[in-house]
Chain A
Amino acid sequence: MLNNLKIWLHQGKQFIPDVTTAKVPGRFRGRPVISKVSIDETELADLCPTHAISTNPVSIDLGKCTFCGECAFAFPDKIKFTTDYKLATNERSRLIIEEGKEEGIELDPALLRKEISQYFSGSLKLRQVSAGGDNSCELELNACGNVNFDMGRFGIEFVASPRHADGIVITGPITENMAQPLQLCYDAIPEPKIIILAGTDAISGGIFEGSPALNRSFLSRYTIDLYVPGNPIHPLTFINGVLELINKRK
């Protein structure tokens, strides 16, 4: 018991005091900024492994981007990845970063359903379904609840049963073999409920887009409340996105 107390004392405070302003260490690849420098746009677009780059004007779709950073190595004057981890939004088109755009990504207040802030701003219980996820977003979602990121302090938690949940967090490109279990889980969550897509694979299929082993029909049936880009998502991206979703008012 005494030893445990000693360890507890040694460890001190491990949590990030303010997750909305914390700086990430090192060279994290977050929101890209695209300059107006003219380059060979076809070559740039052709480089991208997931066709996330469009031309004329040049843009990067963060819903498709795997954040490999190869475009920034090939065209350093054109594309830079900043360390801004606030990438989540509720409108799919806001994930497309056009050249010259320097502003951060935010949620569109006009699209927020009133019941989300009304019911969930103090407490949000989420059910996670991995539908072909590679266990990287799953690791990072688990990390959201660890002693460093401590998402539980905001009343946001993952729960074991859809019956206890207010929403579903989907990771992975949604495989054919998971299509039915995903639907069953979603149906078991009581209304009102939200849907969060976590990670590039969930948002667009990522590198798996077009694979015959996927069945993404679930997504065409419902409105998505939050898109959280990343490969995998950074815990700070997820936490900030969810906080904005439940706290923002119209």
Chain B
Amino acid sequence: MKYSLTILLGISLSVIASAQSTSKFADITGTIGSSQGSISGSYVHNWKLFRKKKWEAGLGARWTSYIGTKVEFITAAPAKHTRSFTAPFLIVFAGQREENFDTLTVQRPFTNSVNISVNLGYNFNKKWYGGFNIDLVGFTFGRKGSGILQSNGTTTNDPGARPPAFNLLLTGDHDYGTLNSEFFVKYAINDRWKVRAVYQFLFVEYTTENVKQQIPEGPLNDRFRNKANNFGAGLSYHFK
């Protein structure tokens, strides 16, 4: 965690120090996946970097509303019981310990999250721009509802499944809460308005209240995560 925050802080400070001009814009985006979807709105403040100013980096604030029907959430934590190794950042390449995975089927998940995001992008030319963004830290509120846990050959219904309140990017299964990330390309209609095509990778977490998973030779677990691969479209308004 310390490494993650130090690196992110270092990137942010170096970005600000080398910046000479800015790009400020607001986005609204809708995405759809398998039995789920999201709508998000964000404000982004980017600094244009280097001599040609084709690269941009900066920070933003993003609201993401997520809704689904009968969505499967898989055992999310602790990372040492879900992944073959747990080194920060490298954990995304770690193998899965599926023998410890159980499934919580949340019947009607609905979450709203507000996060600080980091944004990176590149201006290919005056019309086309490509980029990536990911949520860093924030909070979530959402609907408490029924989740059906299939664990160790038994099926139990927990009417108190709910999203946890705190979100924090620590990479892979170290993460907490609901975190949105996007790869996108943006096309300029004019100086102000641009359209976006988006691939979204959205982590959504739910916790159980009454029933827990007993991880073999491990602790009781109440955290389950859905990793949604969604596609969508968006609209950007650029401020002068």
Q: Do A and B come from one complex?
A: no
Binding site for B on A (CB under 8 A): none
Binding site for A on B (CB under 8 A): none
